[in-house]
Amino acid sequence: MKSEWITASVAELEADGTILVQDGNHGEYRPRRHELDPAGTPHIRAADISDSGVIDFDGAQRINDQALARIRKGVGAPGDVILTHKGTVGRVARVPARAPHFVCSPQTTFWRSREPDRLDQGFLFGYLRSPGFAAQLRRRMHESDMAPYVSLTTQRSLLVPLPPIERQRAIAAVLGALDDKIDSNRRLAGLLEETAAALFRARFVDFVGVDEFEDSELGPIPRGWQAGSLVDLAKFVNGKAFTKHASGAGRPILRIRELNQGVDGQTLRAELDVEDLYIAHADDILFAWSGSLGVYRWPGDESLINQHIFKVVPEGTPKWFVHRWIEEHMDSFRSVAADKATTMGHIQRRHLAEARVAVPCGDALEDADRVVGPIDQHRAALVQESRTLTELREALLPKLISGEIRVPDTADPAEVIEPMVA
């Protein structure tokens, strides 16, 4: 029953030993710039945690043993829930079981249950991702004149619900099953993409298994193949200035921000009737050619493509083939953009025409498509399944955490969820 639930502040839960909440070292104990070491211990900042809750241990800055020896708090552990609380407030991640030894920075806090028979760590992870907890953060994040910030002192005043432990574990089981499947899909999709990239490079860049070559402007290429360019493979359609028509309703408007962060509450929307060439559909190739250059396979809903983004429409060639050739030239494109010091870095259409590709003849591309095509399709299916599961999790999470609905008394978290009796 919902009446069995109690609520306590973090300070109260710390006082009775139920929870431990710590951020990284400040002041004299904080690591110095000269103590950064690429081979050292990860020092996790807000930027190292994605909106989707993935901690980038590999890309995080690292500190040497001298700095590590000064650390007095914020030493993380597998299973910890990490909260970003400074600058970027409210990102939440759970440390995986095989995470490396790491420490929090002053921008991040770990939350750790010390009494699992009173507070389940999986339930705690779910609660920190809930709208109710996010609302507490929003109310407190502008209390200082600094950038958005929820200090450790403020965090200790936040409230945590405590349903009966059996209910906590049931909620954690359902959310955990969804999280595990989403994470499994993400990792498998990444492996499939790496496999497709390796097969592409071996066959169409390194020409593995080819015995006969002929000279071309690209250098030696397989006999009978042609030297072409990216514009021979696809149509590059630039988006339009849809943001000036933003009304708050209708389809999302994709800017570079959305390509990197996804569609959220800050995404602009517009009710416009436009040609399909300016609409992004699931798995379309999108190429940001100005500012932060990158090539993407759009995973979201039907959306309007803003200017500075190409919709790439393959013409007679598989989608994966076009995507991989663009990726092959991305370092060159970024170098061109970086040279434009007086303007926003970008490339021009002529750079697409100058980006040379080896165009196969005969059955070479069809043969490769029989292998790489299914791999690419499986990756796309995993991405879409994860998106569906994420939407399901986001719909269930606030109802489970608030007690609006409950998990039946069953060991199977996949069972149907029934309404909570008041």
d(CA 291, CA 278): 20
Percent of the chain scoring above 70 in pLDDT: 95
Residue-by-residue pLDDT tens, the chain, 422 positions: 566 789 999 999 999 999 999 999 888 888 999 999 999 999 999 999 998 899 999 999 999 999 999 988 999 999 999 999 998 899 999 999 999 999 999 999 999 999 999 999 999 999 999 999 999 999 999 887 678 999 999 999 999 999 999 999 999 999 999 999 999 999 999 999 999 999 999 999 999 999 999 999 999 999 999 999 999 999 999 999 999 999 999 999 999 999 988 888 889 999 999 999 999 999 999 999 998 899 999 998 999 999 999 999 999 999 999 999 999 999 999 999 988 655 668 999 999 999 999 999 989 999 999 999 999 999 999 999 999 999 999 999 999 998 888 887 654 555 544 444 44
Query: What are the extents of the domains in the chain?
Result: 2-162, 164-213+360-422, 226-357
pLDDT on residue 342:
55
E strand spans, 130-264: 159-162, 213-214, 221-222, 226-229, 234-238, 251-254
Q: In the CATH scheme, what is the code of domain 164-213+360-422?
A: 1.10.287.1120
Q: Which CATH class is domain 2-162?
A: alpha beta
- Are 2-162 and 226-357 equal in CATH topology? yes
| Sign (positive or negative) of CA dihedral 37, 40, 44, 48 | positive
- Fold for the domain defined by 226-357: Adenine-n6-DNA-methyltransferase TaqI; Chain A, domain 2 (3.90.220)
Cβ burial, residue 306 (10 Å; 0-12/13-18/19+): buried
HEC string for 213-243? EECCCCCCEECCCEEEEHHHHEEEEECECHH
pTM (predicted TM-score) = 0.86
3-state secondary structure of 180: helix
pLDDT on residue 3:
63
pLDDT in tens, 115-155: 999 999 999 999 999 999 999 999 999 887 678 999 999 99
Neighbours of 28 (CB within 10 A): 6
pLDDT on residue 417:
43
CA distances from 11 to 17, 19, 21, 156, 161 (A): 10, 9, 9, 5, 13
